Structure 1
Amino acid sequence: MKARTAPIAAGILLAALLVGCSPSGPSAPDDAGDAGSTSPEPSASPSESGTPGPAPTPPTITMPTDCRAILSEPLLDLLEDVPLNDKAFAPNGVQEDGSLICTWGDPRADTTRLVTIISVERRGPALDMLNDLAAEDGFTCYQPDAGIRCEKTWESEEYPVTDGRTLYWRDDVLIDTRYSNLAPPGYTSDIVLHLFGASTPTPTPTPTETPAA
């Protein structure tokens, strides 16, 4: 389902945030954190003999393998009655490429679902995607905890509930969450804390509508 288009101001905001940290721009200041100071990975290209170039460098953190282990007890308590990774929503869990899919939802319900995909996403493609979401789809983006976060909510076209999407990118790791009528407060921030540890305080975003997840 495609969300309604929001004002283009969000795209302008992201463009300002990413000045100096786009793949072709200069390095961001040291206080921007690892997400702003990491150099883009060059594309691997075959040599003249046809031998493939070096494999991409793995992310700086260990990719998670357990959907419950990336959440604190308070968040797990909020989701206590919600089934996790039911077979009806496959694929779930650890994928062949190392990504992790966590699906919270009851297959008997028409809505009320929370799906998070944690994957490796290199700097260049990640920034391109976030810029597109801000410029074309009206996502609001800002820079908390040494990373980049983009988010948007909208009213479901099928049910009287709120749907939304929240993305967070840092150090070549992307946390991408889509939800419908299920947005535990602090959900994404909780995952960030468990993956990267404590960081700088999160600034208050400026959108008129702020997703809980």
Structure 2
Amino acid sequence: MTRRRMWVLLGAVGSLLVIALIVLLIVWRGGAGAPEGEAVGRPQPHSSPAPLALASVPAPTATTDGPHPSTCDELYSPAIVAAFGDLVLNPAWVAEENSDVNRGSGDPELIALIDAAGERLTCVWANANGGSGLGLTTELVWVTPEQSTQIQSRLTAAGMNCYEELGGMRCLIETTKDGELVGESHFLRDDIWLATRYVNTGPDGYTHDIIANVWADE
């Protein structure tokens, strides 16, 4: 073999080795890459969704499909107004702070139920010049059926005499203490509660008169 042919053969072998190395390099580079779609770098924490705000549940309110007097004057006939004599309806002093005017009941649990009901009319018959030994307070309260059930249960538990009357439930109690006549009259019908407490006064037919005026159209 001549020297020239030997160099040609070595050159061919060298070329083949170079080509083989290039192919191996391409294959190796392709396999070393990250698979398609795979995250590169440090994993990132997923953000947590913000908590959903819960809608507040409104307190139950009484329906107002029935009668809805807006003032105490609407509750009374001229005859009952005259029967109170010198007592006046809602004198200015009863609205003063610490007036200590009577509520529609003397029972703490019934007072709490009146306050919990929300909407109401407070009608006070009292001396025009201030507190005295005579007075009557009626609180007309709008209630839900659930509240009405609670009220009836408490009226019975408080020892009142309850019976059906004029399309509703009437409850009465009256006592004499230290020479004073103190009583309560309660009436529940539809979504209305008439809570009345009186001291040494109370015209005959007072609650019946309110019922006749409030439910005049029924």
TM-score interval for Structure 1 and Structure 2 normalised by the shorter chain:
0.5 to 0.7
Could you give the per-residue CA deviations for residues 73-131 of structure 1, whole angstroms, max 9, x where no partner exists? 21111124212212322279xx9x54110100115453110000001112222222222
Structure 1 residue ranges, 4+ long, deviating more than 6 angstroms after superposition: none
Question: What residue identity is the alignment partner of 1:58?
Answer: T
- Count, aligned residues: 146
Residues 59 and 122 (structure 1 numbering): CA distance in 2 closer, same or farther, change over 3 Å? Answer: same
Q: Larger RCO: Structure 1 or Structure 2 (Cα < 8 Å, ≥ 6 residues apart)? A: 1
2:163 equivalent in structure 1:
142
- Choose 1 or 2 for highest CA Rg: 2
2:214 equivalent in structure 1:
195
Specify which of 128, 148, 152 is matched with residue 126 of structure 1: 148
Is residue 175 of structure 1 aligned with residue 191 of structure 2? Answer: no
CA shift at 1:58, angstroms?
A: 2.3
Could you give the per-residue CA deviations for residues 17-51 of structure 1, whole angstroms, max 9, x where no partner exists? xxxxxxxxxxxxxxxxxxxxxxxxxxxxxxx8522
Question: What residue identity is the alignment partner of 1:126?
Answer: S
What SS does structure 2 have at the residue aligned with 1:127? helix
Q: Determine if contact 1:59/1:173 at 8 Å carries over to the other structure.
A: no
RMSD: 2.6
1:90 equivalent in structure 2:
95
Give the unaligned 5+ runs of structure 2: 1-51, 102-114
Q: Distance in 1 between matches of 2:123 and 2:154?
A: 25
Q: Which has the higher helix share?
A: 2
Specify which of 156, 176, 183 is matched with residue 164 of structure 1: 183
Specify which of 170, 181, 185 is matched with residue 204 of structure 2: 185
Residues 132 and 49 (structure 1 numbering): CA distance in 2 closer, same or farther, change over 3 Å? Answer: same
Q: Distance in 2 between matches of 1:152 and 1:198?
A: 29
Q: Distance in 2 between matches of 1:77 and 1:105?
A: 14
Residues 120 and 57 (structure 1 numbering): CA distance in 2 closer, same or farther, change over 3 Å? Answer: closer
Q: Determine if contact 2:62/2:143 at 8 Å carries over to the other structure.
A: no
Identity of matched residues, %:
24
Could you give the per-residue CA deviations for residues 138-195 of structure 1, whole angstroms, max 9, x where no partner exists? 10000111111111001134xx121101110111111100000111111111111111
Question: What residue identity is the alignment partner of 1:180?
Answer: V
